[in-house]
């Protein structure tokens, strides 16, 4: 009796691993194909039967993309914009979040916060046009500001920070800091921020990924080659008649790699960050 149970269990477990493994292969396959295609020539990419493993590792595509496109500049742009956006957003949201968390009796605080939360109901799609118009009127299109500033005052961000700070920063600590003569901003900077680090990391990663991967807004506001970000450059590589797929794959791989590496290193923070809003709700 027990033996059949054990065998049955083993079969079930093996089947499960098999299923998970198969799906994992399917899910990871596009990444594999991306990597492999980056090393193939145009002809090899379209070869039938397909080259599952590239016959030879060609670096031509990478060289071509370095020489013929402004990918390096795009990397730089993406990085500046991502860092700028995340820094600005984290600063604004944590400062305001702390204020809402630890000054609950300030007149109007409750109403203001509820109001901000209310706007979360309205999807961002509604604000695209006006934001574009504002930026155009201010002459800020085609600049880093156009990518950094919109979205930095995130309603979700302030909610997230406030909730974490309220839960993890004890009032006594603040009291002690005040007694020690720490200025209000000093309290924020030296006491609250370190405690809020996990929340900052999670939110920061979420914003980072969003900024790095953003295509639509970049397409709308960035107008000259020297300002384009990575996703935009890759998208525009698609020509009308002949798309240099080899270069495209190489560029795509380079654009994806930082995120993949970051993810593998900081898996837990990534997951917390991206599912941040959801998990708590």
**Positions 43 through 82 that interact with another protein (CB under 8 A):** 45-50
Of the candidates 65, 93, 200, 202, which one interacts with another protein according to CB under 8 A?
A: 93
Report the site for another protein in 153-172 (rule: CB under 8 A).
153, 155, 158, 171
What's the burial of 69, exposed, middle or buried (CB within 10 Å: 0-12/13-18/19+)?
Answer: buried
Binding mask 101-120 for another protein (x = CB under 8 A): --x-xxx-x--x---x--x-
Q: How far is the CB of 273 from another protein (least distance, A)?
A: 10
Of the ranges 58-66, 69-77, 193-201, 215-223, which one interacts with another protein (CB under 8 A)? 215-223
Pick between residue 163 and residue 256 the one whose CB is nearest to another protein.
256
Tokens of 233: 């450059």
Tokens of 39: 């090393």
Q: Which long-range contacts (CB under 8 A, 24 or more apart) does 100-104 make?
A: 100/158, 100/162, 101/161, 101/162, 101/163, 101/165, 101/166, 101/169, 102/165, 102/166, 102/169, 102/171, 102/174, 102/192
Q: Which residues ranging from 8 to 47 are in contact with another protein (CB under 8 A)? A: 13, 16, 19-20, 23-24, 27-28, 30-31, 33-34, 37, 45-47
201 binds another protein (CB under 8 A): no
Nearest-angstrom CA–CA distance, 107 and 112? 9
Burial of residue 74 (CB within 10 Å: 0-12, 13-18, 19+) is: buried
| Helix (H), strand (E), coil (C) string for 65-85 | HHHHCCHHHHHHHHHHHHHHH
Among 90, 165, 191, 248, binds another protein (CB under 8 A): 248
Q: How far apart are the C-alpha atoms of 80 and 170, rounded to whole Å? A: 35
Cβ nearer to another protein, comparing 23 with 59? 23
Q: Hey, which residues between 125 and 144 contact another protein (CB under 8 A)?
A: 125-134, 136, 139, 141-142
* Minimum CB–partner distance for residue 185 and another protein (Å): 8
When asked if residue 5 is in the footprint of another protein (CB under 8 A), the reply is no
Q: With binding defined as CB under 8 A, does residue 216 bind another protein?
A: yes
Rounded least distance, CB 268 to another protein, Å: 9
């Amino acid at each position: 009796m027990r033996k059949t149970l054990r065998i049955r269990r083993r079969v079930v477990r093996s089947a499960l691993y098999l299923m998970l493994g198969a799906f994992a292969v399917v899910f990871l396959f596009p990444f594999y194909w991306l990597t492999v295609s980056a090393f193939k020539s145009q002809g090899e990419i379209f070869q039938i039967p397909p080259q599952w493993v590239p016959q030879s590792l060609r670096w031509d595509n990478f060289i071509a993309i370095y020489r013929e496109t402004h990918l390096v500049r795009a990397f730089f742009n993406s990085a500046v914009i991502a860092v700028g956006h995340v820094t600005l957003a984290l600063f604004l949201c944590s400062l305001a979040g702390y204020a809402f968390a630890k000054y609950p009796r300030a007149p109007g605080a409750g109403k203001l916060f509820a109001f901000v939360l209310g706007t979360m109901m309205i999807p961002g799609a509604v604000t695209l046009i006006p934001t574009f118009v504002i930026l155009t009127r201010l002459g800020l299109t085609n600049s880093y500001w156009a990518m950094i500033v919109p979205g930095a005052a995130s309603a979700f961000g302030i909610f997230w920070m406030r909730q974490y700070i309220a839960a993890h920063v004890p009032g006594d600590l603040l009291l002690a800091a005040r007694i020690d003569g720490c200025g209000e901003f000093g309290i924020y900077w030296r006491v609250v921020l370190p405690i809020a680090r996990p929340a900052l990391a999670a939110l920061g990663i979420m914003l980072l990924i969003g900024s790095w991967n953003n295509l639509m807004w970049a397409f709308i506001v960035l107008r000259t080659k020297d300002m384009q970000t990575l996703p935009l450059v890759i998208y525009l590589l698609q020509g009308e008649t002949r798309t240099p797929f080899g270069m495209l794959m190489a560029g795509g791989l380079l654009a994806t790699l930082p995120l993949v590496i970051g993810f593998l290193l900081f898996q837990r923070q990534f997951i917390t960050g991206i599912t941040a809003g959801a998990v708590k709700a």
